[in-house]
Amino acid sequence: MATIPPRRVALTLLAHPDDAEILCAGTLIRLADAGWEIHIATVAAGDCGSMILSREEIAAARKREGIAAAAKIGATYHCLEEADVQVVFDKTANRKAIDLLRAVAPTLLFTHPRHDYMLDHEQTHLLARSAAFSYPAPNASQLPLIEGSAIPWLYYCDPVEGRDPYTNEFVTPTTLIDVTAQLDRKAEMLACHASQRDWLRSHHGMDEYIDAMKRHNAHRGQEAGVPFAEAFVQHRGHPFPQNDLLTEIFGA
């Protein structure tokens, strides 16, 4: 039986609004139902996610969508307000990420893998890793240090389509979480991001926003022996926690 940490706070730090809903919302739902406090954060505001709206208009719309999706599971939405396709690991963005973790003090952190299909995701990976390591250090931020702050369990979500973009090979996960019972609620969260259906159809040639998510979760489910699953790779570098907390909580 898992030894649950006394502080139960989960945070996603991903690049764009709707990334969490696509990649890990089923697991977030399971955590929320188990009594965890949930925070969904994006580095970028989604201001390039439209073919017709201005940056300001689409960013405002996507923030509303992010807040609505998070609210479905009682979560809080945050945005670091960086620009789409301009996410970089620099002092300003690093400070924002560290301050976010300082304010939330997550026990569990989810972010993008090192290799993904676009550089906003890969740069977000660097920002999350930096903040996870740094935020508990007293001098890392001017914000007060919350009691119980510690380097979190860090999990990398699947890259888009589960493939390493440099090799086209499927990523081998360390952790598979059954989200079969949560899939309908996950789809409801993703459906909140209505602005992205037209964008993906126009820019990506993709018109199956929710169905594509379900197909990928079904693929990972086959690996787990269940209808639908989400896949993660746990970061086990020094000095991060080494035990697979998600598997201990929810089972293999």
**Domain containing 38 — which CATH number?**
3.40.50.10320
Q: Return the DSSP state at 179.
A: -
Please give the pLDDT value at position 116.
98
Please give the pLDDT value at position 201.
64
Query: What range does the domain containing 43 cover?
Result: 9-243
Please give the pLDDT value at position 208.
72
Query: How many distinct structural domains can be found in the chain?
Result: 1
For the question of whether the overall pTM of this predicted structure is more than 0.75, the answer is: yes
Number of Cβ atoms within 10 Å of the Cβ of 97: 27
Residue 159, domain member (yes or no): yes
Tell me what the mean pLDDT of segment 141-162 comes to: 97
What is the chain's Cα-based Rg? 17
Residue 26, domain member (yes or no): yes
- By mean pLDDT, which of 17-31, 45-59, 161-175, 215-229 is the weakest? 45-59
Please give the pLDDT value at position 194.
87
Check whether 196 has a pLDDT greater than 90: no
CB distance 29 to 69 below 8 Å: no
Residue 183, domain member (yes or no): yes
pLDDT band at residue 252 under the 50/70/90 scheme: confident
Residue 166, domain member (yes or no): yes
Cβ neighbours of residue 115 closer than 8 Å, sequence gap 6 or more: 122, 159, 164, 165, 166
Check whether 205 has a pLDDT greater than 70: no
Please give the pLDDT value at position 52.
87
Distance of CA 64 to the CA centre of its chain: 18
Please give the pLDDT value at position 62.
95
Residue 3, domain member (yes or no): no
Residue with tokens 């660097």: 126
Residue 165, domain member (yes or no): yes
Tell me what the mean pLDDT of segment 198-218 comes to: 76
Distance of CA 108 to the CA centre of its chain: 11
Query: What average pLDDT does the chain have?
Result: 94
Check whether 1 has a pLDDT greater than 60: no
Check whether 204 has a pLDDT greater than 70: no
- By mean pLDDT, which of 49-53, 60-64, 89-93 is the weakest? 49-53
Q: How many Å apart are CA 59 and CA 77, to the nearest integer? A: 14
Residue 248, domain member (yes or no): no
Tell me what the mean pLDDT of segment 65-83 comes to: 98
Q: Return the DSSP state at 159.
A: P
Amino acid code (one letter) for 8:
R
Residue 216, domain member (yes or no): yes
